[in-house]
Chain A
């Protein structure tokens, strides 16, 4: 049994549909989605001590193919979110370590990059609770990068001899962006698929697919998910 708590993954889907349904203008800044993320993250860290790590997927690698205006809005939103969370001290109070990950972090706006750097610097000493935010992240890209970086690193040590044996599961996992396996994954927005979120880490994760569009997702619904999670029997292949 893990005494290190649970790792929850969140795929916050449905914002665009919510925007259309609620007659938001095409240039809607997505503020409600951002606020929802803040609300849920704070709720979890305040009221669910059994959860010690949250990984939330803010933007996928495919999302980065959207038009420039779209991207800028999302970046502005994320920047606003980080500043608010740090400013309102939940991050400092609960000693949450903030980690941004993804293969496209270099492509975000300068001010967001700054905010990311600062938040990670500010919280790097925190160790009990973790908040991972995926930006330009895709599970397949993560695995490709891990394979490349592992191959490069392993050659450095010594040549061909025993190279094959030195690539173990443990070694491979060191090259992942978020090494810890997920205990559960929540996807809002009605779709029943993972879309490449944390593929390797989803190995034995309990999956929860909810119809609620992300901005409509409530803390009560989250509590219900945790309640059901506790009831599920996890066998890990036994």
Chain B
């Protein structure tokens, strides 16, 4: 079965899932975090090597209630600490290199530090790669790339004639990652919500109504199988 080398996930539906079960929305995020570990296991067993999760968008950061953001960031804090302090953390067991990208500079300083340390600690792993898009916005990332390129051109470090797709990529936060092969969005919505707009140009998209914490192994494998059957023409 042809699997995506790079799988991206928009894990939507945590709050609605919790509401269904008459629990507080924050409980949904906790379950969502646990689901990530399951999905990691199922996908990598099937052959996926790189997974990128859209953990928090810039729009979420500025629009969701503070207590919800704090909850999500606390989960991130807990997991990062786990990576640093617990040698049996699933990241070490599976030798996963972890990376965080997005406007992490907008997050609390202690969390930023934990992220940097977790990245350092897992830098030498190369079995699997797990990337978290946190405080991330695709449009903003593109504008930032344009900004950097404009500065380089003004400083005569770059010629406008040499600016092409590769140069754009090099100035994106995902520089070094391959483009997503498949983007799965759970929770029923059918949109990208400002996620990896440039990088997802030729990504296959899969949508499911299932809320993220309710995603089963069967469904995930079925989505991966469907991907394997798709004909990708890359514009030709």
Contact = CB atoms under 8 A, between A and B. Distances in A.
A147 B205 contact: no
A206 B143 contact: no
Interface string A64-88: 0100000000000000000000000
B153 A169 contact: no
A147 B192 contact: no
A51 B202 CA distance: 27
Nearest to A161: B154
A78 to B, nearest CB: 18
B64 interface: yes
Contact of B142 (A63, A65, A172, A208): A172
Contact of A144 (B154, B165, B193): B165
Given A163-B151, A237-B57, A169 B140 contact: yes
Interface string B34-48: 000000000000000
Interface string A136-164: 00111101101110111011000110011
A203 B142 contact: no
Contacts of A202: 192, 197
B138 interface: yes
B153 A155 contact: yes
A5 interface: no
Contacts of A63: 235
A167 B146 contact: yes
B168 A140 contact: yes
Contacts of A167: 143, 146-147, 150
Interface stretch (A19-27, A105-113, A127-135, A193-201): A193-201
Contacts of A62: 234-236
B123 interface: no
Contacts of A220: none
B105 interface: no
Interface string A53-66: 00000001111010
A224 B163 CA distance: 42
B154 A160 contact: yes
Given A163-B150, A163-B151, A206-B190, A143 B205 contact: no
Given A169-B143, A238-B64, A196 B205 contact: no
Nearest to B226: A192
B191 interface: yes
B139 A207 contact: no
B70 interface: no
Interface residues of A, number: 49
B202 A193 contact: yes
Interface in B23-55: none
Interface in B159-209: 160, 163-165, 167-168, 189-194, 197-198, 200-207
B193 A237 contact: yes
A140 to B, nearest CB: 5
A17 to B, nearest CB: 11
B150 A147 contact: yes
A159 B120 CA distance: 38
A209 to B, nearest CB: 8
A202 B194 CA distance: 8
Nearest to A206: B191
A154 B203 CA distance: 33
- Of A148, A195, A232, chain B has the most CB atoms within 10 Å of the CB of A148
Interface of A: 60-63, 65, 138-141, 143-144, 146-148, 150-152, 154-155, 159-160, 163-164, 167-169, 172, 191-196, 199-200, 202-209, 232-233, 235-238
Given A62-B234, A203-B194, A232-B190, 15 more contacts: A140-B198, A144-B163, A147-B149, A147-B163, A148-B160, A163-B154, A172-B142, A194-B205, A200-B142, A202-B197, A205-B191, A232-B189, A237-B60, A237-B64, A238-B64
The 9 closest A-B pairs by CB, nearest first: A237-B59, A62-B235, A196-B201, A151-B150, A167-B147, A151-B153, A147-B146, A238-B63, A199-B197
6 contacts: A146-B146, A191-B233, A192-B204, A193-B202, A193-B205, A199-B198
